């Protein structure tokens, strides 16, 4: 029978035939796709034709299209609906894909063709985008070891394969720890929780096959439990389970994996001629050097720490007023901060939650996209990767723009966090290819027949991920190599973090923040209180993030630590980490950094992009209209539509007229002097 992964995909919008794919289809599909890609690469490398942009760069771009299609389906499923069989095959597949990548970038004949084009590029009459693609292609080969010889080439190939294996194992260990823990709730422990949290715990229990309500390590369930449970011992148990993911000993312990990963990354950097992995990684980012990153982070750290210490002193007084002795602990902070918010800002998360219905917030996301960019979202019934997922056709002036898929609810088979990916990216080099974009979140699933309720932070996550989706969907370039989010890591978060600002626009909340039971809009006084408290507890939020970024930077800026946990403790001690706050992502569960190379040495990038997003939203505010058409047009023309076809700093300067400093960021976080 024909393998559905290798046949033509005839479903609407060119979607994969999800309903007809079985787990056993992947191994033969990857075998065939890898063989075909290798054959095509060899044809390009061994061609007797003189190198040209078309027969080398464009041909290279198309050589592994089938492999990319199969991989897009596989990694969508293994990250959102994993099974033991898929995870076992992923452990086998990861080093094979790494080896294939090394084969390409270390193919001497292929690189010589690219080098010939590079040295003669002034005579090739290339477009600006083609010149950029050529530069990025050559740079990618060089950074992957194309200039290395002999033992160094072989060693780098081995290092990359081992890193691939370690990243897969880190991810699977973390997911295993998250799956294996839950805490039953009953009696007073359940009765003391607000109704929305009781409903979420009941739904989580059903999803886990438990006899009653449970708390799991899904962030959308665990964080509100830490906010609202008055039982200090239960809060401590939940927090310790959350904080110890990847550090519980046994087969799922990630600490040795982190140490080996850091050692191999340092070796990789040395093989490629860099002093440290951070020097290697940041060389192609906007920040350029570790010193520049540290300078920005410390500009934010000092005022954030000062604010957090002041807040911590107030929360400590509250603990002592409750008759408890000793210091404020990490499992206390959110509970007492929520009580303080209710008192000082007259805000209660339980009062707010019914106004943040998932479906209404999705409407808000789409409404803002329509007002800014003229996009229309129409629900469509198409086969997706999981029954919980939903799809919309995105169009403009009646023309198809993209297919958007949202997969919003937590489940045991889905890795934690939130992200945006593409089943297909936009390009025009071989026909007008429109993207298929996926947003994945982990919100608490409601009981059957009940609306899904979000926290304000959850709603912000929804806007954030759709900002990434807009970057993909509004892409309008020729080559996939520079399409959508194919930009420097410290620029990629600009569109996502910028889009978060529209959640706070009063008329957006006024229209879409409607009560789940009454349908009434959020009262103006509650809306005003919510917006007035937008920077509440920002010292805590900033400290836990910046501490993680500084540890990541330190890990990769010098000799690799023999014991990452000891080095983590030393870094936190050096910067004066408040005792009641922990890193947002401690090393054993720091998936951004250790599940792959994506954010390694680059977790700072959220902050770097925030410098720009705060300044960029001020461009709208300066007009007096958060939906100003001309500013939105500049944003699309200079940032959202052009992907990585030009230098990131050049793109931002074209939009704003200059590069920003951190003043708008500090102001937006309420940390300005």
Tokens of 548: 């993680």
**Angle at CA of residue 622, ends 621 and 623, nearest 5°:** 90
Residue 124: name the closest of 42, 43, 56, 40 by CA: 56
Distance CA(442)–CA(420), nearest Å, equals 12
* Residue 363: predicted pLDDT: 98
The string of pLDDT tens digits covering residues 403-417 is 999 999 999 999 999
The string of pLDDT tens digits covering residues 542-553 is 999 999 999 999
Q: Please check the confidence at residue 55 and state whether its pLDDT lies above 90.
A: yes
Q: 62 — phi, psi (to 5°)? A: -95, -10
Q: What percent of the chain has pLDDT over 90?
A: 97
* Residue 472: predicted pLDDT: 98
Q: Given the DSSP bridges, would you call strands 376-380 and 390-396 parallel, antiparallel or unpaired?
A: antiparallel
Average pLDDT over the chain reads: 96
Over residues 571-583, the mean pLDDT reads 98
Over residues 76-93, the mean pLDDT reads 97
Q: Please check the confidence at residue 334 and state whether its pLDDT lies above 70.
A: yes
* Residue 348: predicted pLDDT: 86
Q: Please check the confidence at residue 349 and state whether its pLDDT lies above 90.
A: no
The string of pLDDT tens digits covering residues 269-326 is 999 999 999 999 999 999 999 999 999 999 999 999 999 999 999 999 999 999 999 9
The string of pLDDT tens digits covering residues 612-639 is 999 999 999 999 999 999 999 999 999 9
Q: What percent of the chain has pLDDT over 70?
A: 100
* Residue 1: predicted pLDDT: 63
pTM score of the predicted model: 0.95
Active-site choice (285, 465, 610, 636): 465
Q: Is 306 annotated as catalytic?
A: no
Residue 575: name the closest of 591, 602, 561, 554 by CA: 554
Domain ranges of the chain: 181-244
Q: Look at residue 437 and give its three-state secondary structure.
A: strand
Residue 498: name the closest of 620, 647, 616 by CA: 616
Q: Strands, E, within 1-72: which ranges?
A: none
Residues linked to residue 396 through DSSP beta bridges, in sequence order: 399
Over residues 412-428, the mean pLDDT reads 95
Q: Please check the confidence at residue 327 and state whether its pLDDT lies above 70.
A: yes
Over residues 638-648, the mean pLDDT reads 98
């Amino acid at each position: 029978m024909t393998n559905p992964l290798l046949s033509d995909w005839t479903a609407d919008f060119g979607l994969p035939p999800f309903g007809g794919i079985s787990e056993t289809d992947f191994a033969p599909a990857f075998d065939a796709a890898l063989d075909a890609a290798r054959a095509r690469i060899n044809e390009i490398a061994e061609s007797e034709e003189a190198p040209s942009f078309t027969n080398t760069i464009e041909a290279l771009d198309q050589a592994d299209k089938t492999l990319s299609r199969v991989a897009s389906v596989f990694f969508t499923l293994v990250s959102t609906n994993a099974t033991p069989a898929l995870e076992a095959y992923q452990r086998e597949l990861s080093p094979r894909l790494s080896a294939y990548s090394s084969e390409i970038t270390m193919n001497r004949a292929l690189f010589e063709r690219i080098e010939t084009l590079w040295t003669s590029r002034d005579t090739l009459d290339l477009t600006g985008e083609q010149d950029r693609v050529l530069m990025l292609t050559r740079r990618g080969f060089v950074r992957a070891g194309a200039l290395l010889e002999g033992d160094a080439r072989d060693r780098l190939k081995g290092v990359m394969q081992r890193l691939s294996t370690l990243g897969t194992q880190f991810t699977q260990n973390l997911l295993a720890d998250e799956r294996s823990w839950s805490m039953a709730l009953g009696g007073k422990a359940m009765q003391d929780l607000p109704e929305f949290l009781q409903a979420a715990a009941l739904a989580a229990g059903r999803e886990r096959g438990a006899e009653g309500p449970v708390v799991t390590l899904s962030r959308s369930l665990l964080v509100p439990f830490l906010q609202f449970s008055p039982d200090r011992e239960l809060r401590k148990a939940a927090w310790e389970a959350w904080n110890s993911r990847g550090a519980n000993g046994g087969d799922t312990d990630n600490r040795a994996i982190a140490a080996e990963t850091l050692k191999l990354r340092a070796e990789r950097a040395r093989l490629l001629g860099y002093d440290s992995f951070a020097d290697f990684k940041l060389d192609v980012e906007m920040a350029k050097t570790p010193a520049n990153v540290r300078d920005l982070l410390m500009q934010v750290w000092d005022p954030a720490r000062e604010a957090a210490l002041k807040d911590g002193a107030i929360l400590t007084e509250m603990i002592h007023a409750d008759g408890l002795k000793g210091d404020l602990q990490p499992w206390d902070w959110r509970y007492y901060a929520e009580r303080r918010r209710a008192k000082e800002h007259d805000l209660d998360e339980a009062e707010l939650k019914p106004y943040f219905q998932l479906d209404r917030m999705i409407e808000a996301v789409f409404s803002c996209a329509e007002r800014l960019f003229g996009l229309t979202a129409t629900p469509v019934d198409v086969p997706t990767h999981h029954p919980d997922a939903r799809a919309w056709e995105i169009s403009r002036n009646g023309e198809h723009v993209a297919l958007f898929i949202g997969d919003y609810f937590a489940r045991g088979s889905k890795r934690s966090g939130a992200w945006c990916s593409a089943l297909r990216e936009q390009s025009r080099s071989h026909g007008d290819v429109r993207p298929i974009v996926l947003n994945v979140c982990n919100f608490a699933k409601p009981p059957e027949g009940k609306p899904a309720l979000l926290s304000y932070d959850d709603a912000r996550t929804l806007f954030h991920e759709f900002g990434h989706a807009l970057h993909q969907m509004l892409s309008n370039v020729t080559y996939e190599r520079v399409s959508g989010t194919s930009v420097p890591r410290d620029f990629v978060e600009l569109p996502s973090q910028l889009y978060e600002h529209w959640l706070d626009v009063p008329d957006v909340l006024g229209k879409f923040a409607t009560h789940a039971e009454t349908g009434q809009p959020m009262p103006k006084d509650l809306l005003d209180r919510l917006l007035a408290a937008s920077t509440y507890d920002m010292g805590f939020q900033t400290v836990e993030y910046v501490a993680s970024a500084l540890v990541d930077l330190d890990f990769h800026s010098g000799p690799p630590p023999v014991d990452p946990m000891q080095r983590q403790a030393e870094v936190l001690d050096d910067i004066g980490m408040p005792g009641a706050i922990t890193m947002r992502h401690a090393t054993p569960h720091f998936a951004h950094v250790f599940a792959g190379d994506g954010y390694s040495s680059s977790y700072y990038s959220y902050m770097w992009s925030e410098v720009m997003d705060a300044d960029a939203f001020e461009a709208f505010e300066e007009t007096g209209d958060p939906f100003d058409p001309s500013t939105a047009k500049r944003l699309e023309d200079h940032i959202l539509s052009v992907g990585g076809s030009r230098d990131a700093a050049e793109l931002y300067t074209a939009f704003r007229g200059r590069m920003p400093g951190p003043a708008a960021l500090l102001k937006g976080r309420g940390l300005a002097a």
